[in-house]
Amino acid sequence: MNSSVSYPSAQEEEHVSLCEVLDRVLNKGVVISGEVVISVADIDLIYLQLALVLTTVERGKSFHNAGVKNA
């Protein structure tokens, strides 16, 4: 069975503005996490575990309320 898939050319691609991207990110929510270790002579002095949550206030409240009900 042969099927062909056509991809849009560069001229046909949809352009998304920065405002649309931010709107989508804030409505869905994003979590960025990472770790930082500061060491001297292979001895760890400071260890930081970081988490950044980026979402709208309404979305954050709904997640918080759902977590409180499940606890």
In the prediction, which pLDDT does 53 show?
83
Q: Sign of the CA dihedral 40, 42, 48, 52? A: positive
Residue ranges of the domains in the chain?
18-70
In the prediction, which pLDDT does 67 show?
65
In the prediction, which pLDDT does 47 show?
93
pLDDT (tens, 9 = 90+) of the chain, 71 residues, equals 556 666 555 555 677 788 888 888 888 888 889 999 999 998 989 999 998 888 888 777 777 677 656 54
DSSP 53: E
